[in-house]
Structure 1
Amino acid sequence: MPLAVRLCFRGMTIELRHLRAFLAIAEAGTITRAAARLHLTQPALSRTLRQLEDHLGARLVDRSTHHLELTPEGRTFRGRAQAALSAVETALDPRGLTNRPLRLGHTWAALGDHTVPLLRRWDETHPGIPLELLRVDDRTAGLTQGKVDAALLRGAVTSPGLRTEPLLSETRVVVMPADSPLAELPEVTLADLADRPIALNTVSGTTTMDLWPPAARPVATIEVTNTDEWLMVIAAGRAVGVSTSATPSNHMHPSLVYRPLADAPTVPVVLAWREGLGHPALPDLVALAHRILATGKP
């Protein structure tokens, strides 16, 4: 059921329809397709977009081409609009008044070997609040889009409006085909990888070419957009990859071998959530994660 929430700013009324209109245009790529999707006329949709842009004082959509493109401001606002719409719909969903789940996002490895103990212990101590573990192929695991309440993230967290709680640091590992000559080594160095293509997950991975010294970087890269593609490229023998020690337990495959990467820095793991009002059980999740990690046992 559509929500007709009105938000008043400086004498102007902004409604959720303004956000929906902008997001539909951003996804559809044309006013025509977006208008059809929203069952609006093109002039009406264009007026709605102009009202939103006038309020923000910035152009969100570049109309100079047949296929509309978001401006830099539009790309920034898209994540905020998604998060705002999701937050309002969640808040006004009557089903959320009882047993509202705590949605925990991750991009590919959750909490590694500690994931199952975390879920089991949560179920024991919070039987009335389901903890939903969701994999989202996004830099913040869906957090800035409002898809999750908290997220387990690796590496530097640079998105604005997020709070983070450090949990642990993970060592790096090299992922390679089982028949790779490197599989015979007990551990691998960055120099050992310089003559091989490197698979890079450009959406949620923690590895970039900056891991290597400028004068000793690998000969080539293969860019992918999610963990499944990354694993397939490596298993097929087209590249090797660099990940963290959490990956082997989550992504075992007979065609893959993992070896420690001896001379690379560790990767921080944090629990992140959006600033402001969040899920009331978030403090309990933070405390439980620390208790699970303190045991030192998966």
Structure 2
Amino acid sequence: MSTGQSADGAAGKSAGSGAGNTHRAIEIRHLRAFLAVAEESSITRAAAGLRLTQPAVSRTLAALERHLGLRLVDRSTHHLALTPEGVAFRDRAAAAVAAFDAATDTEGLRRWPLRLGHAWSAFGRYTTPLLRGWQERYPRTPLELRRIDDRTAGLTRGEVDAALLRGPVDAPGLVTEVLYEEERVAAVAADGPLASRATLRLADLATGTVVLNTVSGTTTPELWPPSARPAATLTVANTDDWLTAIAAGRGTGVSAASTAGMHPHAGVAYRPLVDAPALPVLLARRDAPGHPALDDLAALAREIVARDAGE
């Protein structure tokens, strides 16, 4: 491991020579080591996954913290935990590693796919026209639709090049464009009393438990007036668990109208929610240079929505 010790030691010396050179001393191996520790909450397990020794990972992590001038990992407890600075740095490190891997993927350079993330309902009723239209116009650039259970559908972590999102998004470093607005629907148990109603109102759901997807969903108790918030809430982590809980009669839910078409469920009935505000559907990208076909994607998405509005 003498090579790794020398590299870390040299990097540490250059970091001390001036703040302007600090970030140039950071290498991709520092970020990989940090991300492995963050994922495993253990230097030992991280080292095993990286096929390195525990001391080598410890030195690499310490060198990264020294370069940044920040403590990223709290080692004061029996189980490692990220510091607040470590939590904030994790997404940036993941995005940097993803960008590096994409840039050095020789196969991908020959056929560079455009990765489009979504959290649950993609482009709604426009999803198929988008995929077919893209294939016809840009056959050399595959459009990969990826469902990622995350508020930005993996965009802030660098897992996708663009994302279709719903509702307001306040993540820093993103540029968003509203493509259209969707009505909201109530999701209720198919064998429950509310399923017999043609339409529903927010007050109809507030008397019972409302199921909330707190990871990628857009519904919060603030959708209801302060004096008429739901009697109880049940939190889940993804759309599949949301549907399962509603079908089991554990509560009701609120979602965009496209969810009814994209996620039909034998145990769930969708009903128009007549007094809920419409939900904006956004196309989001990072505020930085990205895939060269991003502008083409935005133009095609706008064209499809405009064509539908004119019919």
Query: TM-score normalised by the shorter chain: which range applies?
Result: over 0.9
TM-score normalised by length of structure 2: 0.90
Cα distance in 1 for partners of 2:191, 2:56 equals 60
- Contact 2:243/2:265 (CA < 8 Å) preserved in 1? no
**Structure 2 residue 23 is matched with structure 1 residue 10:** no
Partner of 2:254: 242
Cα distance in 2 for partners of 1:173, 1:151 equals 22
Cα distance in 1 for partners of 2:84, 2:280 equals 29
Partner of 2:3: none
Partner of 2:4: none
| Residues 237-273 of structure 1: CA deviation (Å, up to 9, x unaligned) | 1111000111111011222111111111111111111
Partner of 1:64: 76
How many residues are paired up? Answer: 294
Structure richer in helix, relative to its length: 2
Cα distance in 2 for partners of 1:278, 1:11 equals 26
Task: Identify which of 251, 264, 267 aligns with 2:276.
Answer: 264
Instruction: Indicate the larger mover: 285-294 or 251-260.
Output: 251-260
- Contact 2:112/2:142 (CA < 8 Å) preserved in 1? yes
Instruction: Indicate the larger mover: 47-56 or 64-73.
Output: 47-56
Whichever of the two has the greater Rg, that structure is: 2
C-alpha RMSD of matched pairs (Å): 1.9
* 1:58-97 superposed matches below 5 A: 58-97=70-109
Aligned-pair distance for 1:43?
Answer: 2.6
Aligned-pair distance for 1:36?
Answer: 2.2
Aligned-pair distance for 1:274?
Answer: 1.2
TM-score normalised by length of structure 1: 0.94
Cα distance in 1 for partners of 2:66, 2:278 equals 46
Identity of aligned residues (%): 61
Q: Which runs of 5+ in 2 are unaligned?
A: 1-6
Aligned-pair distance for 1:39?
Answer: 2.6
SS in structure 2 at match of 1:292: helix
Task: Identify which of 73, 92, 111 aligns with 1:99.
Answer: 111
Aligned-pair distance for 1:283?
Answer: 0.4
**Structure 2 residue 286 is matched with structure 1 residue 274:** yes
| Residues 51-87 of structure 1: CA deviation (Å, up to 9, x unaligned) | 2112222211111111111111111111111110000
SS in structure 2 at match of 1:108: coil
SS in structure 1 at match of 2:55: helix
Partner of 1:209: 221
Task: Identify which of 142, 157, 162 aligns with 1:150.
Answer: 162
Q: Which runs of 5+ in 1 are unaligned?
A: none
Partner of 1:230: 242
